[in-house]
Amino acid sequence: VTLHLNPISSVHIHQKPLVFILNSPLPLVWKLKMERLAPGIRRVFFVSLGSVVQFEKGNFSLSAETEEKLFPERNEHLLQWAQKEYGAVTSFTELKISRNIYIKVGE
C-alpha cells in the first residue's frame, strides 16, 4: 500500500512532528511518498506485526522512526489506545481494500 503524505494547501512546507498508526490484519509493505514535508522532523510510524515501511522519495528515513506493535483488534479499541497514548487523534480512516491512501497533513 502506498501512503501519499502532503501538506494541506495553506501550508507550503509541513514542519511539525507526525505520528501514524498503520494497522492491518495481514502484514503489509507500506510505501511512503512524502511531498513538501520538511526533512529532519520527527515522524513516527507504528505498524502492525510483520509489516514494514519503505521510503520512496528523499531520505526521510533518517528522521523517521518505525516500530512494529501489536494493536487492539477492534477499531474502537485502537482509537481509544491512540487517544490514551497521544492525547488526541486528528484523523482516523478505515479502508477495506486500497493500493493508495492520500493524506493531507497540517493544522
Per-domain residue ranges for the chain? Answer: 2-105
pLDDT average per 10 residues of sequence, the chain (107 residues): 94 92 95 90 95 79 87 92 90 92 89
Burial of 25 (0-12, 13-18, 19+ CB in 10 A): exposed
Quote the pLDDT of residue 40: 87
Q: Which amino acid is at 11?
A: V
